[in-house]
Amino acid sequence: MKMEQKWDDDEPTLIQALIDIQKGLGFLPPEKLREVATSFGISEAYIWGVATFYNIFRFKPRGKTHIKVCMGTACHLSGGGLVAEAAERELNIKVGETTDDQDFSLERVACVGCCMLAPVVVINDRVYPRMSPLKLEEVLIEFKRDKKED
């Protein structure tokens, strides 16, 4: 009943605690998980078990520019897979990875709720509608140029 007590006291629960860490740091570093384990009085292994179960948790830092390619149904049907491949080609990383210089990271998500604008790509929380491999390349070239300039 320990967790229920947490609810009653309106304290963050395990998953919320992990979400909050990730919101601050962009990922879950092992030492933070250790801290959470101590404060919740549960084993580290248990926390890893929970954290790795859910899709939103990441264990490696994100790139400065985080790219989410939608692979929901509508986006898949209108060529989202080709867009994801184009991103992999252009950044020379696979989905789920971050570039060596930490500039870009790539992730696939399942539906961001903009299916009528499919296929969509979300870059740093901005939705880019009706993408194609070519359009994505152009957007990425822009981003790379901006990086060089600053």
Partner 1 sequence: MIFEEIKKKATAYLQDLESTTNIRVGTPTCGKAAGADDVIIEFRKELEKKGLEIPLIEVGCMGLCFAEPLVAVFKPQMFTILYQNVNTQKVKRLIEGYIEGDDPCFEMALGTLEFDENGLPFIPELKRSEFEKRILLRRCGIVDPKNILHYIGLGGYKGLEQALGMSPDRVVKEINDSKLRGRGGAGFPTGIKWEKCANNSSKKKYVICNADEGDPGAFMDRVILESDPHQVIEGMLIAGYAVGANEGFIYIRAEYPMALEIVRNAKREAEEFGILGDSVLGSSFSFHLRIIEGAGAFVSGEETGLMAAIEGKRSEPRVRPPYPSEYGLFGRSTLIDNVKTFSYVPWIIENGAERFAKIGTENSKGTAIFTLAGKVKNPGLTEVPMGTTLRTIAYEIAGGAPNEREIKGIQIGGPSGGCIPNSLFDSPVDYEVLLSLGSMMGSGGMIFMDENDCVVDTAKFFLDFVQKESCGKCTMCRIGTLQLLHMMEKITKGLANLEDLDKLKNLAEDVKIGSLCGLGKSAPNPVLTTLHYFYDEYVAHVAEKRCPALVCKDLLAYFIVPAKCDRACEHCKLTCPTEAIGGVIGEPKYIIQDKCVKCGTCMNVCPPEYSAVIKVSPVDKLYELKEKGV
Residues that bind ligand FES (CB under 6 A): 70, 72-75, 111-115, 118, 120
Q: Is the dihedral of CA 110, 111, 117, 120 positive or negative?
A: negative
The CB-of-75 to partner 1 minimum distance in angstroms stands at 9
Nearer to ligand FES, 30 or 129 (CB): 129
Of the pair 64, 122, the CB lying nearest partner 1 is at 122
Binding site for partner 1 (CB under 8 A): 1, 3-4, 7, 10, 13-16, 18-19, 49-50, 53-57, 71-74, 76-77, 79, 82, 85-86, 89-90, 109-118, 120, 127, 129, 132-134, 137
Minimum gap (Å) between residue 84 Cβ and ligand FES: 12
- Number of helical H runs and strand E runs in the chain: 7, 4
Q: Where are the alpha helices (DSSP H) in 1-127?
A: 2-8, 14-25, 30-40, 44-53, 73-77, 80-91
Token pair recorded at residue 47:
């926390």
Structure tokens at 61: 């830092």
